[in-house]
A and B are shown apart, each in its own frame.
Chain A
Amino acid sequence: MTKSVSEQVLKGLMLLSLDGDEAAYRRLLVILRDLLLTFYRRRLGPHADRDAEDLVQEVLLAVHGRRITYDRDRPFTAWFFQIAKYKLIDHFRANGSKRGVEIALGDEIAGEFREEALFAHLDVDRLLDQLPAKQRELFRQVKIAGKTTAEAAIESGQSEAMVRVSIHRGMREIGRKLGFANDEK
C-alpha cells in the first residue's frame, strides 16, 4: 500500500518540528487546529463552539507537551488521531455524557481524518497543478488512486524505475511548495 500524501506531508512537518524547525511547527499546528475545529464542531453540535475551541487547545497543548511520545518510524496521523479521540472521550466523561462516550468509542471517527478532509485543507489539486502534466498524472495514479508503480508503469508505457523517480521528484516538488523540503537537488 502506498502511503497517503496527507500522511507524508503532516509527518514531514512533524519530523521537522521535532528537529526544532519553528516555521514547520507553526504550519503543522495551524493545519491541525483547523482540522480539529471542523472535527469537534461536527461531534459537539452547533451550540458548542466554545467547547470545541477549548478542546482544540487542549489537544494542541497535548501534542506539544507530549510530542516525545511520537515515534518517528510510525504514522503521524494515527498518533495524532489517538490524542484527539482521547480528549474527546475525556470531554464527554467530564460532562457525564455516557452516550457521547459510547459514540466516540464506537464510531469510526478515524475516517474523518483521512484523505478527503486533509486533502481539502492542503489544496492538493492546486499543488499538483504546478507539476508537469506527465508527472502529475503518475502522482495522481499512485499516490491518490492507490495504484502500484508497476500498474502505473504499464499504463504510461514507462519503465517502473522511471515512474518511481518521477513520483519521487513530484513529492519533493510539492514539499518545496509547502515550504518544508530541502532545496538540495
Chain B
Amino acid sequence: MTKNDEFIEALVSDLTPVRRHALRMRLALAIVVGVIGAALALLISIPFRPHLHQVTVAAFWVKFLYTVILMSATIVALERVARPDGSIGNMVRVPGAAFGIVVLLAIAQLGLSPASSYPGLIVGYSASFCPFLIVAFGIPAFCANMWFLRRAAPTRPVLAGFVAGACAGGVSGWVYSWACVENGIPFIAIWYTLGILLSGLFGSLVGKFSLRW
C-alpha cells in the first residue's frame, strides 16, 4: 500500500452523506443570521430616529422592494460564486434593471415636485450617515456570508467577496428600510445604492485575502 492509497482510505473513512440541498440550506442559515443581526441593530437605533411618522407609503414601498430585489439577486449570486464552476451571469442584470427603474422613478418624482423640495428629496435628514449605517448594520450578515463562503469553494476570491459584501448590504438595506425616515426616491437611488456598493467593495477587499483555499 502506497502513501496515496492510505490517503484515499483516510478520505473514504471520513465520508459522510451530503443532503441534496445542503449548500443552499447553509446559505439560508447565513441569511437568517444576517437578517436577525441587522434587525437587532435597527431596534437599538430606533430611539435615535425622529420623524418616522412622516414617511409616505409610496416611499416605504420603493425602499422595501428595491432592497428586496437587490437582496434576492445577491443571494442567488452568492450561491453561484460559492461553487467552483459557478458564474453569476444574469445576476448582474437584475440589480442593474432595478437601479434603472428607481432612477426613473426618482426623476419622475423630481419632475413633479417644486424645486424648493429638492434638498429634502435628495439629501434628506440622513444622507450623511445612511450609507454608513447600511454598511454597519450589514456586519453580522457579512460575517455570516464569509463563514458560508469559506466553507464553500469560490474560485474568484475578489468577486466572491464583493458578492458577499453586496449581499450583506442588501440584507442590511432591506432591514434598514423598515424604519428609514426619508421620503425622497432620489435619496434611495443615491444613498441606498451607495451603501450597498460600499459594502460590496469592503467585501471584495476582505475576500481578496481571506477567501483562498
Q: A and B from one assembly?
A: yes
Question: What are 23 A-B contacts with C-beta separation under 8 Å?
Answer: A17-B15, A18-B17, A20-B17, A25-B11, A25-B12, A26-B8, A61-B11, A62-B153, A64-B11, A66-B151, A68-B23, A68-B151, A69-B82, A70-B83, A71-B23, A72-B20, A74-B85, A78-B85, A79-B83, A81-B85, A83-B153, A85-B155, A86-B153
**Is the CB of B4 closer than 8 A to any CB of chain A?**
yes
> Do A69 and B4 touch across chains, with their CB atoms under 8 A apart?
no
Interface residues of B (CB under 8 A from A): 4, 7-9, 11-18, 20, 22-23, 26, 82-85, 151-153, 155, 212-213
- Chain B residues with Cβ under 8 A from A171's Cβ? none
Interface residues of A (CB under 8 A from B): 17-20, 22, 25-26, 29-30, 33, 53, 56-57, 60-62, 64, 66-72, 74-75, 78-79, 81-83, 85-86, 90
CB of A159, distance to nearest CB on chain B (Å): 36
CB of B27, distance to nearest CB on chain A (Å): 11
CB of A157, distance to nearest CB on chain B (Å): 41
In angstroms, Cα B25 to Cα A3, docked, is: 29
Majority SS of interface residues in chain B?
loop
> Do A69 and B23 touch across chains, with their CB atoms under 8 A apart?
yes
In angstroms, Cα B155 to Cα A62, docked, is: 12
In angstroms, Cα B18 to Cα A61, docked, is: 16
CB of A54, distance to nearest CB on chain B (Å): 11
In angstroms, Cα B12 to Cα A180, docked, is: 16
CB of B76, distance to nearest CB on chain A (Å): 13
> Do B20 and A86 touch across chains, with their CB atoms under 8 A apart?
no
> Do A86 and B84 touch across chains, with their CB atoms under 8 A apart?
yes
> Do A82 and B213 touch across chains, with their CB atoms under 8 A apart?
no
> Do A62 and B213 touch across chains, with their CB atoms under 8 A apart?
yes
Our pick among B8, B14, B23, B153 for the contact of A30 (Cβ within 8 Å) is B8
> Do A66 and B152 touch across chains, with their CB atoms under 8 A apart?
yes
Our pick among A18, A57, A64, A69 for the contact of B84 (Cβ within 8 Å) is A69
In angstroms, Cα B155 to Cα A85, docked, is: 9
Our pick among B22, B23, B153, B212 for the contact of A90 (Cβ within 8 Å) is B212
